[in-house]
Each structure stands twice: as C-alpha cells, then as structure tokens.
C-alpha cells in the first residue's frame, strides 16, 4: 500500500463527510466540551461558538450519528460518554470513542493527552497506549495495529468508517481478520497516528482560517 496516497485519500474523505458550513468549528468545540465529562447542551455550544441555537441544532441533526440524552443534550459524537470498547481517559475522566482512530485523532483536537485502553478485535488481547497531541507512547503490545477503511460519501460517519476501525494485537492478526472484510487496510499504530495528525491539522487549520476571516470582517 502507498501510505502517503492512502492517507491523502482517507483524510479527504473524512473531511468531506460533513459539508455543512462551520462544522469543523462545531466539531472541535463539541469535542472539547465533551472531554469535560458531562452532556453538552445546544445552548452551551451556541454560546461557545457565538452561533444562534437553531444553527447549532440544525448542524447536529445533519450529523446523523450524534448521540443525545433524554434532555436534548449531546452525549457523543466521536467522543462519547457512553461505553464502547475504546476507553479514552482525559484528566482522570473516563470517556470513550467510537473507534480506534478517534483515540489517535482527538488528543490533538482537544489539546490534551489521553490514556487509551482497548482490545484486539480478533483475539480480545488488551491494547493500551498514551496519546498526546504530538506523540504516542507506551504502546502495548508494541506491535499493535489499526484497521482503516476509505469511507463512502455519507454523513453517517459512524456506520461508514468507525464500525470498521479497530485495534489489533499485531499487523498479522489484523490482516488475517481483514481477509474476510473487503476494503480494509491494516497499518501500524504509528502510521494510523500519522494519518490522524494530518486529519487534525486540516481541521484545526480550517477552524483557524475561518476564525481569522471572521475577525478580519469584524
């Protein structure tokens, strides 16, 4: 596999997954609010973004995988308060992510380190690592790998991407699993982290450019 070309294609498809204007800003702010460990109200997001509440609600409804509680608050979008196989501990708070790739991507977006504990999707062997905004550390097993897939053009990113993206105890184990799952690529955790960093940089750059443009117009 040509990793550079695959990375470029994957980042492009993930970036195009939700085209609503300002979604990068909403996504980053939502992740940072969820990382505090409590449900997030649309009104709170609107205040943080300086948007009308109806704009926030419309954007979240377009993101069809958004998780809500009974009070109309967001409890998950990529990062979630609901238990999944991927534990994501930030500042002593136990959170979860929808997939293995999220654990490698989100520290850069929330600008906080995280301790990740998951399991091999094929064998159940525990997989753990520490992820900071710039590096990964203490990977166990050292040969752990991640499955990736090029998602289809759909706003349902959880179904199109996250449901296929897992940790494996080794590349060989992952490749054996992938042999019966068409379209899956298996890469090292370090390579998956590099893809995540590029995706994060693109999102943060889009957010900074948009905010800079708003400041210029003001």
In a domain, 91, yes or no: yes
pLDDT over 50 at 214, yes or no: no
Which has more pLDDT, 19 or 144? 144
pLDDT digits (tens, 9 = 90+) for 160-209: 889 999 999 999 999 999 999 989 999 999 999 998 998 898 888 877 54
The residues carrying an active-site annotation are 99, 102, 162
Q: What is the CATH number of the domain that holds 194?
A: 3.30.450.410
pTM greater than 0.75 (yes/no): yes
Whole-angstrom Cα distance, residue 49 to residue 210?
Answer: 12
Domain count, the chain: 1
Task: Report DSSP letters for 151-200, one per residue.
Answer: --S-S-HHHHTGGG--EESSHHHHHHHHTTSTTEEEEEHHHHHHHHHHHH
In a domain, 218, yes or no: no
- Domain range for 95 is 3-212
């Amino acid at each position: 596999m040509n990793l550079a070309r695959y990375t470029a294609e994957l980042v492009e498809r993930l970036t195009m997954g939700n085209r609503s204007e300002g979604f990068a800003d909403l996504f980053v702010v939502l992740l940072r609010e969820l990382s505090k460990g409590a449900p997030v109200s649309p009104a709170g997001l609107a205040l943080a973004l300086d948007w009308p509440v109806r704009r926030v609600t419309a954007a979240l409804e377009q993101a069809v995988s958004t998780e809500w509680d009974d009070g109309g608050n967001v409890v998950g979008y990529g990062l979630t308060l609901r238990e999944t196989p991927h534990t994501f501990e930030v500042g002593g708070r136990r959170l979860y992510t929808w997939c293995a790739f999220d654990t490698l991507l989100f520290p850069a977006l929330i600008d906080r380190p995280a301790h990740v504990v998951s399991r091999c999707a094929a064998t159940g062997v525990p997989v753990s690592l520490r992820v900071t905004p710039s590096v990964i550390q203490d990977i166990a097993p050292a040969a752990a790998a991640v499955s990736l897939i090029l998602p289809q053009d759909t706003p349902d990113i959880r179904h199109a991407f996250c449901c296929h993206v897992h940790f494996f105890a080794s590349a060989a184990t992952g490749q054996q699993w992938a042999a019966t799952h068409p379209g899956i690529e298996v890469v090292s955790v370090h390579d998956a982290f590099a893809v995540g960093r590029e995706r994060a940089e693109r999102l943060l750059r889009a957010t900074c450019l948009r905010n800079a443009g708003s400041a210029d117009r003001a």
